[in-house]
Structure 1
Amino acid sequence: MFDNLSNKLFFRLYQTANTLQKVGAQALDSEQVTTQQWSVLGALSRQSVQNGMSVSELCEYLKLSRQNMTGVLNRLEDRGVIARSIDPNDQRSRLICMTEKGAELWASIAPLINGFYEEALIGFSEEDRISFAHYLNKLLNAMHKMDRTNT
């Protein structure tokens, strides 16, 4: 019926993803930040995107649907932590940028996120973490090739 080991791996991955959503949200509950908002702020905080990212770029980078992304961006914009502006290279497109208030929020949640990472990865050596990242990237790349929506 199923390759038992593969079934266990994917079931454990599914459980881990669901637990990440739940426990990650608990880690930032005091700041009223969801894991999806955390991921958007993290993406926008990178030095390489100081001028912003398009919604499409954010969706691709974070592997979120446009529908989910729209809701997350609306809530972040309502809080004043992101702003949308017209892309100077494409008047039809909008760039999403982190505001000063967003940078302050990111700075305040960074220690909570780091604490979450350390607690979640307790017992993982540096070598374990490197190997784990390698295998997650390998799986993500294989699944990306399977995605029929990619062109």
Structure 2
Amino acid sequence: MNSRSASSAQDTAAVDALTAGLRNRLFFRLYQTANLLNKTGTRALEDHGVTTQQWAILGALADPRSQGGISVGDLAGLLMVSRQNLTGVLSRLEARGLITRTVDERDKRSRFICLTDEGLQRWAAMQPQINEFYQASLAEFSNSDIIAAMHYLEKLRNNFIALEQEQGGTESD
């Protein structure tokens, strides 16, 4: 190998090490951020007795597109969790009277999840704390920063979906 090839190989190794280090730091930062979101989000809504998982479910059900109910499978896909992980959280929300599960008339094996009136009231009552949490979490973020973050997170999410499919899984496994 001549000196030019050896130098090129060293440059490639240095770039690869730099890239590997950056990737590791990025994924570690995502891990930390997800954990902090879970911890601080749950604390922000502790007066309502709602965890971040329950918050996500109530928010999905409060969305106008879910009016009339959403199937458990569709909800699991939307939240990108397994049906098994969703079942326990739904049971707790149902026991508190915040959601109902009804049989799908077209497919008796399926269940539709709907917010109850109490669930809608709880969702409305949570909005001031949710807005405060968003404001504090996104301090010093411009609208452009938020749009850029959403863009890159969506690209990453799509890559994860493709990776999961290559691994033989589905989004809601």
Q: Give the total of aligned pairs.
A: 151
Offset at 1:89? Answer: 2.0
Percent of residue pairs bearing the same amino acid type: 50
* 3-state SS, counterpart of residue 85 of structure 1: strand
- Once the two structures are superposed, the pairs formed by residues 1-150 of structure 1 within 5 Å of their partners are 3-147=20-164, 148-150=168-170
> For the aligned residues, what is the CA RMSD?
1.3
Name the larger-Rg structure: 2
1:150 maps to amino acid: T
Q: TM-score, normalised by structure 2?
A: 0.84
Aligned equivalents of 1:72, 1:98: Cα separation in 2:
14
Q: Which runs of 4+ in 1 moved over 4 A?
A: none
What's the offset of the Cα at 1:86?
Answer: 0.8
In structure 1, the partner of 2:4 is none
SS for the counterpart of 1:92 is coil
Shift in Å at residue 5 of structure 1? Answer: 0.5
- TM-score, normalised by the number of residues in structure 1: 0.96
Query: In structure 2, how many angstroms separate the alpha carbons of the residues matched to 1:92 and 1:150?
Result: 20
- Provide structure 2 residue ranges, at least 5 long, that are not aligned to the other structure: 1-16
More strand by percentage = 1
Gaps of 5+ in 1: none
Paired letter, 2:152: Y
Greater helix fraction, Structure 1 or Structure 2: 2
What is the Cα deviation at residue 150 of structure 1?
Answer: 2.1
CA distance in 2, matches of 1:75, 1:92: 21
User: 2: distance between equivalents of 1:92 and 1:72?
Assistant: 20
SS of 1:3's equivalent in the other structure is: helix
